């Protein structure tokens, strides 16, 4: 005999076609009506999302007390237990953990509730990286609705298996209405869901009103009660936990639940870039503050970090991070993020200046620069910093030149273009290559001299060839593209790389029923520099050249849009950085960059706490801070700091930078996507954008740590200390670069560490914290949570 579990809920997007205030205000109405119905009818109301309960607690304490009583009485069930329903593709693994932790803490404190079934009904696909996170955060099951039926073949019920072997019971609902029923029509829709199950099956039916909150009508509740009474099989008001307790899947699924609404991997780049910035500012600030605290120089401001975590979690809401919200939602979410960034910068400053202030005073005519390396390994990257001279040189015969020393030894350095544009020589920006201490502060000292003015870098007539002990690059003067990239004599490219390409797109930010982004590709060509932002410039030019780096810029144009591509080639390092400055004036068009590789191999990309292999058929996929072509000998890796949408067509890699989408342009039958195409409409991406990439030939086991090093570039600042001496700082180190440190932060019990082995092989690492060393073993793709209490390091089987 079959059994149907009715799970009544009210899907309530706090922000979508409306802003936060309207959504949160609707929560009061929805929760008030839910409380009344729970007291009047014999059923269970299920709801998740701590952010909504927080709002009720703040603005209607009497209603909040009623809900607490209903929860105690078993009439109201705390479902899911997360802060909100986030996008389940784009946050990092650590960001997912913080999202869950905020909800876990709130619901435990306010309701004594600890759900064991996670739910994300409306999220647009689900990364397989979630499985390990769910399991280690105390969940045994997962209930979701997407990808929609017809988007992806999936078992109805299955064991979802993570990259590390973790398993959770999972159900994707089978009804076309997903998570809600139409107001006044619940009975007909529940009957349809009931009929989809056969004898002996355990079924689930989600019902209730959404997307803007609301509850089923009294008639709906009366109709459902009648259906339950007359059914010839058990139909029960239930909870997700009760449903999964009676479910035992027989199939396994080992991949991400993707693709699903692929346009959301790229739409609204402003929010996506801000989310990446905030998530890594949070993690980097925590690391610096933890180092300072270990040395007795910092006391944690718990409120500031909690506010930052909430802003990060809010930015992850599935209609915000996906780029499918209205313009007000975009603006308010960016405002929340910037507020959090300012809070974090204040805490960063406290820790940074406390650590640097212990160093001795500078000598006369000496400019100290302090660099914080957030990675737990020593390194020798190119760093950059700026400082101000006492006097300005405003003639064309002289200039300031610099010499950089570390521990008295001269290290490679050169002056590069400073960020300001005032036309005298006073503000200096330097690129230099120090030996950085792991997870700590490194000091260099700069001596300045006045010398005759040096000529500007020269651009050769023919191809621009860059060659050092590691690599050889050729940039064509005719195309402005990176035509050749060799490492150890191995050719990695098959043609012009970082070619901007415009494609025909549409205004739908979700990308409903799409497999690939764009069609009819049109490559950008070198600009003639007769108009627009490049007027009067040279379209291919060497802009920097010295002992540390050479930089070449190429200027491109197509229709009304412009792209500057700047190649920054570092001496004797295996990577090259490429920055794109885009002036985008298109509608219904997408922008990609093309990187043709010379490799036969697998197309791979980073996902939360893992790496996934993707098809090379031109279909859009989502990955995080690296993608690459793995030929077995190594990986031609493309690292990024603000991109999620990619594809591979055979051996050619593509990154999707911008889409031609409008705000909330949801397909409605065969109607035009934009409501009134006869009037001017401001599309989401129009304006100026910056994208940063790194091209490198790397071993597979180095990809995760290299991605973190790229996104969290060392922070350098000119500061004059007044301390007694550079004391040895207590910090944290890891002796194996295949093991990455994602989190290091203070709690009441000690310090939490989250370490990740994002490789398909087992790894061991010695982790040293405050002078105490511990050896850890990692299974393939395993993430570990550990607690350091000042002397011992304990592995945490449950992270939360």
Helix pair 50-59, 93-111: axis angle to 10 deg: 40
Question: Strand (E) positions, 99-145?
Answer: 117-120, 141-144
Q: Measured between alpha carbons, how far is 525 from 687 in angstroms, rounded to an integer?
A: 20
Q: How far is CA 645 from CA 262, 552, 648, 653, 654, in A?
A: 8, 26, 11, 11, 9
How far does Cα 240 stand from its chain's mean position?
29
Mean pLDDT of 360-371: 93
The per-residue pLDDT for range 22-58, each reduced to its tens digit, is: 998 999 999 999 999 999 999 999 999 999 999 999 9
The per-residue pLDDT for range 423-457, each reduced to its tens digit, is: 999 999 999 999 999 999 999 999 999 999 999 99
Query: 488 φ, ψ to 5°?
Result: 60, 30
Burial class (CB in 10 A: 0-12, 13-18, 19+), 408: exposed
pLDDT of residue 417: 96
Owner of token pair 């996506």? 272
The per-residue pLDDT for range 743-770, each reduced to its tens digit, is: 999 999 999 999 999 999 999 999 999 9
pLDDT band at residue 727 under the 50/70/90 scheme: low
How far does Cα 104 stand from its chain's mean position?
22
Flag whether pLDDT at 162 surpasses 80.
yes
pLDDT of residue 725: 75
- Beta strand 3-9 with 202-207: parallel, antiparallel or unpaired? parallel
Half-sphere exposure of 224 (CA within 13 A, CB side): 32
Greatest CA span in the chain, whole angstroms? 96
pLDDT band at residue 694 under the 50/70/90 scheme: very high
Helix (H, G, I), strand (E, B) or coil at 268: coil
Average pLDDT, the chain: 96
Flag whether pLDDT at 377 surpasses 90.
yes
Flag whether pLDDT at 254 surpasses 90.
yes
The per-residue pLDDT for range 510-559, each reduced to its tens digit, is: 999 999 999 999 999 999 999 999 999 999 999 999 999 999 999 999 99
According to DSSP, residue 497 is labeled B
- Beta strand 471-475 with 482-487: parallel, antiparallel or unpaired? antiparallel
The per-residue pLDDT for range 185-234, each reduced to its tens digit, is: 889 999 999 999 998 899 999 998 877 777 888 999 999 999 999 999 99
Q: H or E stretch including 195?
A: helix 186-195
Q: Which of 93, 152, 128 is nearest to 619 (CA)?
A: 152
Query: 421 φ, ψ to 5°?
Result: -120, 10
pLDDT of residue 751: 98
The token pair at 717 is: 């600042």
Helix (H, G, I), strand (E, B) or coil at 643: coil
pLDDT of residue 662: 96
Flag whether pLDDT at 726 surpasses 70.
no
Q: Is 332 left (phi over 0), alpha (psi -120 to 50) or beta?
A: alpha
Mean pLDDT of 127-134: 98
Flag whether pLDDT at 148 surpasses 80.
yes
Cβ–Cβ under 8 Å, residues 693 and 625: no
Burial class (CB in 10 A: 0-12, 13-18, 19+), 667: middle
Cβ–Cβ under 8 Å, residues 221 and 43: yes
Number of Cβ within 10 Å of residue 520's Cβ equals: 9
With pLDDT > 90 as the criterion, what percentage of the chain qualifies? 92
pLDDT of residue 176: 73
Flag whether pLDDT at 729 surpasses 80.
no
According to DSSP, residue 531 is labeled S
| Rounded to 5°, angle at Cα 93 from 91 and 96 | 65
Q: Measured between alpha carbons, how far is 657 from 623 in angstroms, rounded to an integer?
A: 13
Higher pLDDT, 522 or 726: 522
- Beta strand 398-406 with 409-411: parallel, antiparallel or unpaired? antiparallel
Flag whether pLDDT at 317 surpasses 90.
yes
How far does Cα 713 stand from its chain's mean position?
16
Flag whether pLDDT at 331 surpasses 90.
yes
Q: Is 669 left (phi over 0), alpha (psi -120 to 50) or beta?
A: left
All residues at 6 or more sequence positions from 556 whose CB lies less than 8 Å from its CB, including other chains: 480, 500, 524, 525, 526, 527, 539, 562, 563, 564, 565
């Amino acid at each position: 005999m079959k059994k149907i579990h009715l799970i009544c809920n009210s899907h309530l997007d706090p922000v979508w076609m409306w802003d936060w205030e309207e959504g949160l205000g609707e929560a009061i109405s929805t929760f008030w009506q839910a409380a009344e119905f729970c007291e009047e009818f014999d059923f269970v109301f299920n709801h998740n999302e701590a952010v909504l309960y927080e709002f009720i607690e703040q603005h209607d304490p009497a209603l909040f007390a009623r809900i607490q009583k209903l929860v105690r009485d078993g009439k109201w069930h705390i479902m899911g237990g997360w802060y909100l329903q986030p996008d389940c593709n784009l946050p990092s693994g650590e960001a997912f953990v913080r999202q869950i932790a905020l909800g876990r803490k709130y619901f435990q404190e306010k309701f004594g509730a600890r759900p064991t079934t996670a739910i994300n009904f409306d999220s647009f696909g689900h990364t397989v990286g979630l499985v390990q996170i769910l399991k280690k955060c105390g969940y045994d099951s997962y209930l979701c609705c997407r990808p929609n039926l017809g988007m992806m073949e999936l078992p109805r019920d299955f064991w979802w298996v993570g990259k590390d072997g973790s398993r959770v019971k999972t159900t994707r609902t089978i009804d076309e209405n997903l998570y809600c029923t139409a107001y006044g029509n619940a009975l007909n829709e529940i009957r349809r869901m009931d009929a989809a199950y056969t004898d002996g099956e355990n079924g689930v039916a989600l019902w209730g009103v959404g997307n803007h909150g609301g509850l089923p009508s009294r008639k709906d509740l009366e109709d459902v009660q009648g259906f339950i009474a007359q059914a010839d099989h058990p139909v029960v008001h239930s909870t997700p936990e009760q449903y999964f307790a009676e479910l035992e899947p027989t199939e396994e699924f080992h991949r991400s639940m993707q693709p699903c609404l692929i346009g959301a991997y790229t739409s609204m780049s402003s929010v996506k870039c801000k989310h990446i910035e905030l998530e890594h500012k949070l993690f980097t600030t925590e690391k610096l503050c933890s180092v300072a605290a270990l040395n007795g120089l910092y006391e944690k401001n718990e409120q500031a970090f909690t506010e930052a975590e909430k802003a990060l979690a809010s930015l992850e809401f599935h209609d915000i991070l996906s780029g499918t919200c209205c313009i007000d939602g975009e603006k308010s979410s960016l405002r929340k993020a910037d507020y959090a960034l300012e809070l974090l910068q204040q805490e960063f400053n406290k820790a940074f200046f406390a650590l640097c202030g212990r160093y001795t005073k500078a000598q006369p005519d000496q400019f100290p620069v302090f660099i914080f390396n957030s990675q737990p390994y020593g390194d020798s990257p190119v760093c950059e910093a700026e400082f101000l001279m006492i006097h300005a040189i405003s003639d064309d015969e002289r200039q300031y030149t610099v010499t950089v020393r570390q521990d008295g030894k001269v290290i490679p350095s050169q002056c590069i273009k400073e960020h300001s544009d005032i036309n005298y020589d006073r503000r200096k920006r330097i690129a230099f290559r120090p030996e950085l201490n792991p997870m700590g502060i490194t000091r260099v000292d700069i001596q300045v001299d006045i010398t005759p003015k040096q000529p500007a870098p020269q651009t050769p007539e023919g191809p621009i060839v860059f060659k050092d002990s590691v690599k050889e690059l050729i940039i064509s003067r005719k195309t402005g593209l990176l035509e050749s990239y060799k490492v150890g004599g191995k050719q990695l490219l098959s043609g012009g790389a970082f070619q901007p390409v415009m494609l025909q797109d549409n205004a739908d930010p979700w990308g409903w029923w799409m497999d690939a982004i764009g069609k009819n590709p049109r490559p950008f060509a070198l600009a003639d520099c007769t108009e627009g932002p490049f007027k009067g410039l040279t379209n291919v030019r060497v802009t920097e050249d010295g002992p540390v780096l050479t930089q070449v810029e190429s200027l491109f144009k197509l229709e009304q849009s412009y792209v500057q591509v700047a190649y920054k080639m570092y001496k004797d390092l295996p990577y090259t950085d490429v920055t794109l400055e885009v002036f985008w004036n298109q509608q219904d068009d997408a922008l990609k960059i093309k990187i043709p590789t010379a490799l036969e191999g697998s197309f791979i990309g980073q996902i939360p706490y893992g790496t996934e292999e993707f098809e090379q058929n031109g279909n859009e996929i989502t990955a995080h801070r690296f993608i690459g072509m793995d030929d077995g000998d190594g990986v031609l890796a493309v690292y990024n700091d603000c991109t999620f949408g990619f594809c591979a067509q055979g051996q050619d890699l593509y990154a999707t930078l911008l889409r031609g989408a409008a705000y909330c342009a949801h397909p409605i039958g065969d109607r035009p996507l934009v409501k009134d195409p006869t009037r001017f409409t401001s599309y989401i991406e129009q304006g100026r954008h910056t994208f940063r990439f790194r091209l490198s030939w790397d071993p597979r086991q180095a990809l995760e740590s290299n991605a973190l090093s790229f996104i969290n570039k060392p922070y350098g600042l000119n500061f004059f200390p007044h301390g007694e001496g550079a004391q040895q700082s207590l910090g944290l180190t890891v002796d194996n670069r295949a093991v990455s440190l994602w989190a290091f932060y203070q709690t009441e019990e000690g310090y939490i560490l989250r370490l990740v082995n994002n490789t398909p092989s087992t790894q061991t690492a010695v982790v040293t914290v405050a002078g105490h060393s511990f050896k850890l073993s990692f299974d393939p793709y395993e993430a570990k949570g550990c607690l350091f209490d000042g002397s011992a390091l304990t592995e945490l089987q449950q992270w939360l």
